[in-house]
């Protein structure tokens, strides 16, 4: 079976997988994200990171993530949703490296969310392709937690529409750079406080007002200082899950660390949330897209 390389290159992280057919045989996750690379240096950096693999052969490379953004190696235009996964492969941007490896960058996807706001994704579409290949169901919802959490509707093997929630970024900003997180002691996870915040978030009180209560509960000594992060996390995830159905199963794609709090919140709210590993979905999805590009049956 032929070898090829899959790369997930984001704003802050780099991951690469040496593939043999559909099987990953080696991994590399030690590289810099886009923010650490000067424009024009992507090819040189990739060569440095994966030199042991390139020393064997000029393997084909398929890439996804912010590497295809305006700040990336080559800007690849978004594909408009609804779109099939085959159309993503067909509209991949192709070029050749100086060491003769053919490269394809998978495009991102854009849509108008159910709230009629413009929305975009880059990288998550590969995990969606993987879950679609694994699941095969006609219509289902997916949550991809992270810095910018995505809620996606898949319909008949196509990305129908999605919406983005800045849950992870807001938590980082509030806990590290706002008065809510100032001068806190080392934090301890409290499931009781997390559930309390989840419950408050269901009242649909304006979020900016609810967030300030992290300060007032702390001042009134109603929430211990070491549990403030649990409270903030509960408010933000709870606000994100307000619109989720409690009658239809929802998939949650990500690492155990990312999906754990979502699983706890969903269980408390009676949402049927099924978690699946994000790396597994990425490898399955990138293999599926590469098969399209290579003219093979996925």
- Could you read off the pLDDT of 276-298 as tens digits, one per residue? 999 999 999 999 999 999 887 55
Q: For residue 57, name the pLDDT band (cuts at 50, 70, 90).
A: confident
User: Which parts of 156-268 are beta strand (E)?
Assistant: 158-165, 250-254
Give the pLDDT score at 184: 96
> Which tens digits make up the pLDDT trace of 84-103?
999 999 999 999 999 999 99
Length, in residues, of the chain: 298
> Which tens digits make up the pLDDT trace of 225-255?
999 999 999 999 999 999 898 888 999 999 9
Give strand pairing partners of 5: 18, 61
Mean pLDDT over residues 26-34, rounded?
90
Give the pLDDT score at 56: 76
Give Cα 229 distance to the centre of its chain: 22
Pairing of strands 61-64, 102-105: parallel
State how far the alpha carbon of 288 is from the alpha carbons of 22, 86, 133, 298, in Å.
8, 9, 8, 5
Cβ atoms 143, 251 nearer than 8 A? yes
């Amino acid at each position: 079976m032929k070898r090829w390389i899959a790369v997930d290159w984001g704003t802050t992280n780099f991951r690469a997988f040496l593939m043999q057919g559909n099987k990953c045989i080696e991994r590399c996750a030690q590289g810099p994200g886009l923010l650490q690379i000067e424009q024009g240096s992507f090819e040189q950096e990739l060569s440095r990171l994966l030199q042991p693999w390139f020393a064997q052969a000029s393997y084909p490379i398929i890439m996804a993530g912010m590497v295809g953004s305006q700040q990336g190696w080559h800007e690849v235009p978004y594909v408009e949703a609804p779109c099939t996964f085959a159309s993503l492969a067909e509209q991949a941007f192709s070029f050749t490296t100086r060491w003769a490896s053919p490269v394809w960058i998978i495009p991102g996807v854009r849509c108008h969310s159910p709230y009629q706001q413009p929305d975009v994704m880059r990288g998550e579409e590969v995990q969606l392709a993987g879950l679609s290949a694994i699941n095969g169901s006609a219509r289902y919802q997916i949550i991809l937690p992270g810095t910018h959490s995505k809620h996606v509707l898949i319909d008949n093997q196509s990305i129908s529409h999605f919406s983005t929630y800045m849950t992870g970024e807001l938590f980082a900003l509030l806990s590290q750079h706002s008065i809510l997180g100032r001068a806190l002691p080392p934090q301890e996870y409290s499931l009781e406080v997390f559930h309390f915040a989840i419950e408050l978030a269901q009242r649909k009180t304006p979020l900016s007002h609810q967030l300030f209560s992290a300060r007032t509960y702390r001042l009134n000594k109603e929430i211990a200082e070491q549990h403030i992060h649990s409270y903030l996390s509960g408010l933000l995830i709870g606000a994100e899950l307000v619109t989720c159905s409690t009658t239809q199963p929802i998939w949650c794609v990500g690492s155990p660390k990312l999906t754990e709090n979502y699983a706890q919140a969903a269980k408390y709210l009676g949402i049927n949330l099924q978690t699946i590993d994000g790396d597994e979905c990425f490898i399955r999805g990138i293999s599926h897209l590469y098969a399209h590009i290579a003219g093979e049956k996925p």
